[in-house]
Structure 1
């Protein structure tokens, strides 16, 4: 059997300056903080789901006529559907923020961290500030090199 060729020797990983190490640590912490805020704000779509279920069940009549007509049902299900869509979107983004925070601390998944930083800019004002600072730090060549996997030992 032919053995697989040994990987090409790679020099030691570039040392990350202390300033950039501190930035990555702070960015990791702030990703957790913003993820907590996102989790809190992701509870707001539950109001839409509750209102939609109230309309569907006739608790909130839409007009003075008898409730429960097809337009009321459709409006209620529209509220439920949109609320569920926003809830899933917010919880997904919250999960991605936590994963990016952990990845920043471990210096892994550089591309994921970049994508989450860009997406977090949509969550104004905190996510925008965090996203811009994260992009600035992650695009430094020394930081990008720190995210490269360690070479395999022979």
Structure 2
């Protein structure tokens, strides 16, 4: 999370498993009505979401922000497409890099910063099955080394 960021609301843990994240950007989210109250209550999910560039603007698809309980008729559609706010230079850079084969724009985290909802998006290249296996082997080896080190310290 960027420096000075506040409360973490939602995290896409599977993103680092499925993609090599090469670059990250902090973006604002255009919200409607009671959506910010739901986010502050921690009712957001970005597990299956993705970002796409349309007409020179960045949009977040498939992010689920639950309706606010006290919102009655002013509530919103939980899966609606939301616009993301980035500087033009950053959007142009994303357009250029995401045109390459295999690159995707993946939401990594939603958090609150200075009262505003922010999203950390990453430019990632999809991992192949053997890459995922290699990551799991490295993770397991690291865990075994730490376990052995801890047991040696106990003696």
| Structure richer in helix, relative to its length | 1
Q: TM-score range by the shorter chain?
A: under 0.3
Structure ID, larger Rg: 1
Question: Between Structure 1 and Structure 2, which shows a larger proportion of strand residues?
Answer: 2
TM-score (norm 1): 0.24
